[in-house]
Amino acid sequence: MNYLADKSYLALRTQASPTVVEIPNVFAPLISESIRVNPNFTADRRLKGLSWKTDELLRGARFIEGDLTVWADPDILSHLFNMVYAKGVTTGSLADGYTHPFTVGEGKFYTLEIPRGDYAQRIWGARGENLKVSFQDNKMQAVLSIKALGQFYTAGLAVALTGAGMTSLVMKTNYDLRPTDGLVAGDKLIVGGVEITITSLNADGKTVNFGATTVTAAVGDPIYLKAQTPSFPALAEPLYLGNTLVGIAATSALAVTAAGAKATASPCYNLSFEFKNNLLSEPASGSTGPSVLLNQVREAAIELSRLFENPTQYQKWLEYVKQAITVITTGRFIKSDLTTSEKMTVNFHSVKLMTNEQPLESGQYIFDKQKFESLYDAGDGKAVEVTIINKTSGDDLGDDDSI
């Protein structure tokens, strides 16, 4: 059977710790994804009396990484930032809207699932390496680059299943000495064309237990993780450039004020910002892939275009003058009395221009095309702050480890 990519989706859920895997229960539509497992195979070039390049491959350090691209609605944005930055205390309610503050720090680990047809690839211990937010045809788009500690998609059967009354199976260890890592009780597997539900996993990392089932399968037959049936209740719209105000001023406080009204905001024709964690993801003893995913030096950048009016910005670039930028994007109203809206606010407390181009093109207005580096502001004691107001509770973002 063949499968359309359109039937896929993203499912995700926070983890209480890097290796405590959860069954994802939050579903989001995808634009695209490119998360791949790279086992780093290389040809075995040992001298073995052959005139051919090799007769075998050897496995190197394993890496699981790639991009998720989504339309950035306020709900999925809170999960993306939750993987990138440290979330503070969530306040509010479903009726009034939840407010989630994010600051530079260690993001939460997530379990992700991406189905391919009837089969799901589960990625666990995932964290955000890089988050880029931009606008495409007025709609906010987010591209999250992740790295992960492990994955489960498929495995081979190590011991034959012989018919009625089967209550356990053993997986082959060709890919990993602990092939069941990433699975949990309640997961549904397909083996020998039969669906089984996991009741428990043995500590050996290769044995799966399930209720008595009639199933026949030979050694080497594939075992798949079954895809869930997604549920998309009340999907939020993506945020829009047309509902975005950008404040640019000498200080963060003045930038917040400038972004508070269209009359004082700076009209931007292109706008994007990027947050990088530069995760430590090196293999260590006891791990085929990364043993930890830790933030290293953090950084952020902003790109925008605005109509050239005078050489002021060029002067600020040459003299590396400090500025501050606040971006406020407002979404739909949450409260029925139209007093609370979905919203994302991004405060860059200190920025300086890396580039400031003013290209000339026939028949075109002159623009300041700018790229800002986000700096740490010693006076404010911070570099970047993000606040999101939406309908996603703090529990869904991992405030309650029992979820």
Q: What is the pLDDT of residue 314?
A: 87
Q: Within a domain: residue 46?
A: no
Both 273 and 163 in one domain: the answer is: no
Domain containing 372 equals 5-40+62-151+236-397
Q: Within a domain: residue 268?
A: yes
Phi, psi of 242 (to 5 degrees): -65, -20
> Which residue, 52, 33, 32, is CA-closest to 43?
52
Q: Within a domain: residue 72?
A: yes
Both 372 and 251 in one domain: the answer is: yes
- Helix, strand, or coil here: 396? helix
> Which residue, 225, 233, 220, is CA-closest to 208?
225
Which residues, 6 or more positions from 39, have their beta carbon under 8 angstroms from its beta carbon?
Answer: 59, 60, 62, 175
Residue 381 CB neighbour total at 10 angstroms: 8
Both 301 and 335 in one domain: the answer is: yes
368, with CB counted inside 10 A (0-12, 13-18, 19+), is buried
Both 187 and 72 in one domain: the answer is: no
Are the CB atoms for 195 and 226 separated by under 8 Å?
Answer: yes
Both 87 and 199 in one domain: the answer is: no
Q: Which residue is associated with the tokens 């075998």?
A: 56
Q: What is the pLDDT of residue 338?
A: 78
- How far apart (Å, rounded) are the C-alpha atoms in residues 367 and 305? 6
265-317 pLDDT per residue, tens: 999 999 999 999 999 988 878 777 788 899 999 999 999 999 998 898 888 88
- Helix, strand, or coil here: 78? helix
Q: What is the pLDDT of residue 403?
A: 37
- Helix, strand, or coil here: 393? coil
Q: What is the DSSP string of 302-367?
A: EEEEEE--STHHHHHHHTT--EEEEEEEEEEE-STTS--EEEEEEEEEEEEEEEEE----TT---E
Q: What is the pLDDT of residue 402?
A: 39
Put residue 354 in one of left, alpha, beta given phi > 0 → left and psi -120 to 50 → alpha: alpha
- Helix, strand, or coil here: 382? strand
Both 262 and 338 in one domain: the answer is: yes
Q: Within a domain: residue 230?
A: no
pLDDT at 93 over 60: yes
- How far apart (Å, rounded) are the C-alpha atoms in residues 111 and 228? 14
Measured CA angle at 402 (ends 401, 403), to 5 deg: 95
pLDDT class of 2 with cuts at 50, 70, 90: confident
Both 75 and 167 in one domain: the answer is: no
Q: Within a domain: residue 111?
A: yes
- How far apart (Å, rounded) are the C-alpha atoms in residues 112 and 123? 5
Q: What's the mean pLDDT when you consider all of the chain?
A: 93
Among 220, 248, 273, residue at a domain's last position: 220
- How far apart (Å, rounded) are the C-alpha atoms in residues 187 and 22? 10
The stretch 138-149 carries a mean pLDDT of 97
Rg of the chain over Cα atoms, rounded to whole angstroms, equals 25
101-114 pLDDT per residue, tens: 999 999 999 999 99
pLDDT at 400 over 80: no
Torsion of CA 281, 287, 288, 290, to 10 degrees: -10
Count of domains forming the chain: 2
Q: What is the pLDDT of residue 235?
A: 84
Both 183 and 202 in one domain: the answer is: yes
Both 246 and 111 in one domain: the answer is: yes
pLDDT at 181 over 80: yes
- Strand pairing report for 97-103 and 384-390: antiparallel
Both 116 and 166 in one domain: the answer is: no
Displacement of CA 58 from its chain's centroid (Å): 31
309-359 pLDDT per residue, tens: 889 888 888 888 999 999 999 999 998 777 889 999 999 999 999 999 999
Give the containing element (helix H, strand E) for 14: strand 10-14
The stretch 160-189 carries a mean pLDDT of 95
Per DSSP, 158 falls in state S
Both 175 and 274 in one domain: the answer is: no
230-250 pLDDT per residue, tens: 988 888 899 999 999 999 999
- How far apart (Å, rounded) are the C-alpha atoms in residues 44 and 38? 17
Q: Within a domain: residue 367?
A: yes
> Which residue, 390, 367, 305, 400, is CA-closest to 77?
390
Both 184 and 66 in one domain: the answer is: no
Look up the pTM and report it: 0.92
